[in-house]
Amino acid sequence: MSILTVENLQQSFGDREILKDVSFRMNKGEHIGLVGANGEGKSTFLSIVTGKLIPDEGTIEWAKSVRSGYLDQHAVLTKGSTIKDVLNSAYAPLYEAEKHMNELYAEMAEADTDMDALMNEAGVIQDQLSAHDFYMIDAKEEEVARALGVYDLGMDRDVSELSGGQRTKVLLAKLLLEKPDILLLDEPTNYLDQEHISWLQHYLQEYENAFILISHDIPFLSSVVNVIYHMNQAELTRYAGTYDHYLEVYAVQKAQKEAAYARQQKEIAGLKDFVARNKARVATRNMAMSRQKKLDKMDIIELEQERPKPEFHFLTARTPGRVLFEASDLVIGYDEPLSKPIHFLMERKQRIILKGANGIGKTTLLKSLLGLIEPLAGTVERDDYLNIGYYEQEVSPKNDHTCLQEIWDAFPSWSQYECRCALAKCGLTSKHIESAVKVLSGGEQAKVRLCKLMNVPSNILVLDEPTNHLDIDAKEELKKALSEYTGSILMVCHEPEFYEGLADIVIDCTEWTTKII
């Protein structure tokens, strides 16, 4: 039974066609992986089906009484709410039902007539609450909160104090507690640690309801889905089965189309040649006209346009001294310490990875080492000849500049041609380059930031979760570029498959945190 049907969806942003005559169906219990390169429109599609964005054309039809729950890349939480408040809001309909039931009981205490009707209505509500495990809410909340690392953040903590990764975890916990008929998950693993990803993987494998998952973490995605929808060049194609099966079928279809294209092009060339040689001769004019008609009526096969693949290459500056950073008795934090006293030494040419749970201070450590925030205690000595390339995990989403303006502001001496070439090298098309940064996907925005970073000479790259939002091609190219980089690297990363073979030293930051993990 179809619980979500989309027909003839059209969506454009300016002259960028995002979705073209897209149709989609989702059956009860299906686990769908929505795949495609950065900027193909996956998040836009979810925004449309959830009503956050009105399409140019097309219809979206949900089955009656179907509840959906959406976790997007840019979700926010309201200041003043605690983590407990947010998780409790998952059960808002049940709390309302309980309130109404209590009102019925209060009314019974005063009613003179129709006691049976009030008793029956209250009994129905009581049964509904029991069926939804209403009286086990606290235990269920704690179970999910602990599994995703939310519980140890402090259930009474104001959500406005949380990092981006912590906010994502809280929203995900709330969504799973709601247990909707359709889960809509947009890159849920971006800010999750490996332990929590493993728990979520098992949870989705056992999830009895339907979900749509966008993820560039292919091992994770392939382990939990049974249907693939591939979004490519504004079109959406369904493949029943696993991700590996989709890859096999897609490769065969692509090869068949290329072979058919080659045959057709050969036929077209032959027909055109015949027409050109015979249209002027009276004896063969009719045959030439017949072949011309065949040409005119021919359904021309068009091959997919190859998306530009990014090419990253980081420029290097002069060689620094032997010791880049040396921290002694360093205590990091804001209002309260996030760490025990840290002794940290980084030498030239080292490639150090920082790993560990979100919220324990990895980003704060980077900013303390760079001098962007003052430590609570201790000292940091930096080499005098550092040229630092810093990639921040979070930037403002409200950037009205076009990509071209963004690069031109960073490199005012460049010509427009040089700015365009630099962006194109990062895998962005002309339409992306002329679009506002804020309308780009997370992966495309990351490429703009990497474009700025790779065109400034550095002798150390400080990277805070650089793989978030990047598609497979971009991740592979970034890893290649970092492998070829001759400077030093200090990077926060949760993806072992990305930093394996790249790192000299992997530091588990849970060893010095003051947070309970």
Beta strands, E only, 262-370: 323-331, 342-347, 351-355
Q: Provide the Cα torsion 44, 46, 50, 56; round to 10°.
A: 40
Q: Which residue has 């059956």 as its token pair?
A: 27
Say whether pTM exceeds 0.85: no
Contact 59, 34 (CB under 8 A): no
CA angle, 448 then 484 then 352, to 5° = 85
**Nearest-angstrom CA–CA distance, 363 and 334:** 12
Structural domain boundaries in the chain: 1-77+164-262, 79-161, 323-511
Does the pLDDT of residue 98 top 70, yes or no? yes
pLDDT in tens, 323-342: 999 999 999 988 788 888 99
Select 1-77+164-262's CATH number: 1.10.510.10, 3.20.20.480, 3.90.1150.10, 3.40.50.300. Answer: 3.40.50.300
3-state secondary structure of 289: helix
Q: What is the mean pLDDT of the chain?
A: 87
What are φ and ψ of residue 228, in 5° steps?
Answer: -115, 130
pLDDT in tens, 355-407: 887 778 888 999 999 999 999 999 999 999 999 999 998 766 667 788 999 99
3-state secondary structure of 11: strand
**Nearest-angstrom CA–CA distance, 392 and 462:** 8
- At 216, the pLDDT band (50, 70, 90 cuts) reads confident
State the DSSP code for 379: E
1-77+164-262 and 323-511 agree in CATH topology? yes
Please name every residue paired with 325 in a beta bridge, in sequence order, or none if there are none: 346, 382
- At 73, the pLDDT band (50, 70, 90 cuts) reads low
Contact 147, 196 (CB under 8 A): yes
Does the pLDDT of residue 351 top 80, yes or no? yes
**Span 323-511 CATH architecture:** 3-Layer(aba) Sandwich (3.40)
pLDDT in tens, 409-428: 999 999 999 999 999 999 88
Contact 350, 488 (CB under 8 A): yes
pLDDT in tens, 30-65: 999 999 888 788 888 988 998 888 999 999 999 888
**Nearest-angstrom CA–CA distance, 506 and 517:** 19
- At 516, the pLDDT band (50, 70, 90 cuts) reads low
pLDDT in tens, 143-188: 888 888 888 778 888 888 887 777 888 888 998 988 888 999 988 8
**Nearest-angstrom CA–CA distance, 248 and 188:** 26
Specify the range with the lowest mean pLDDT, choosing from 130-139, 358-367, 474-483.
130-139
Please name every residue paired with 63 in a beta bridge, in sequence order, or none if there are none: none
